[in-house]
Amino acid sequence: MESIQKEGQAYVLCRPDDQPLRTEQDVLDLISGCFEHNSYKLLLQEGTLSDEFYNLRTGLAGTTLQKLINYHVKAAAVIHTEETTQGRFKELLSELNKGEDFRVFGSETEALDWLLG
């Protein structure tokens, strides 16, 4: 995880080689990292979300989203995988992409435009 300055704004970048989000503690560690970097904007690159996140039965997606909202961290995720076009997860993303807290994009450019816009 690293803090990046772009267009006069800071955001935290979470790369696939960082620890994937698999547990609630991973989510809390990620939010703590945002606070340490004094940034309330987060970009999750492809691969930072684990299979547990995509499986809504685990509750990890809901927990993650609730924690991000509670701690006022605006997050964008770049996801190209098939998980986003299937079943209940697709329905969840459809609802999320209407809000201003968490959205999913197909490219990092689109994600940053929204996150920093």
When pLDDT is averaged across residues 92-109 and rounded to a whole number, the result is 86
pLDDT at site 16: 84
pLDDT at site 109: 94
pLDDT at site 94: 80
90 pLDDT higher than 90: no
Beta strands in 1-117 (DSSP E): 2-6, 9-14, 41-44, 74-78, 102-105
CATH architecture of 2-116: 2-Layer Sandwich (3.30)
Whole-angstrom distance, CA of residue 1 vs CA of residue 43: 10
Domain ranges of the chain: 2-116
Whole-angstrom distance, CA of residue 6 vs CA of residue 92: 29
pLDDT at site 44: 94
- Which residue matches tokens 């098939």? 82
Residues 28-83: tens digit of each pLDDT:
999 999 999 999 999 999 889 888 888 888 999 999 999 999 999 999 999 876 66
